[in-house]
Amino acid sequence: MIAARATRVAAFGPDLFADPAWDMMLELLLARIERRPVSVSKLCLASRVPQTTALRWIFALVARGLLERSPDPGNGRRILVDLTDATATRLLRLLLSVRAKDVPFL
């Protein structure tokens, strides 16, 4: 799904289909599955919007309890971002439901 969204952006440009919250949540779900940490700066890049916009979205998603921030134990200057367990569960259920119905989801 992440690759399909990137292809769509490449075809039509980033300003037409901007959905940074969704792109961030998909990136964080993939990172969770792959067991790799995601820094705030990497999540900003994954959102495909300007950094200031991405940071506003991160703060909004944290405020809604969908994401959580934590200090990186290996680098005191870096902050890591992850889905909350409840968000990860809800997102997986949504994606599995869509897949079971064979609905295209970009």
Mean pLDDT calculated for residue range 57-76: 95
Q: According to the model, what pLDDT value does residue 13 have?
A: 72
Spell out where the chain has E strands.
67-72, 75-83
Of 54, 77, 80, the C-alpha closest to 68 is 80
pLDDT grade for 17, boundaries at 50, 70 and 90: low
- The domains of the chain are located at 2-100
Mean pLDDT calculated for residue range 42-47: 94
In this model, does residue 77 exceed pLDDT 80? yes
Q: What is the CATH number of domain 2-100?
A: 1.10.10.10
pTM attached to this predicted model: 0.83
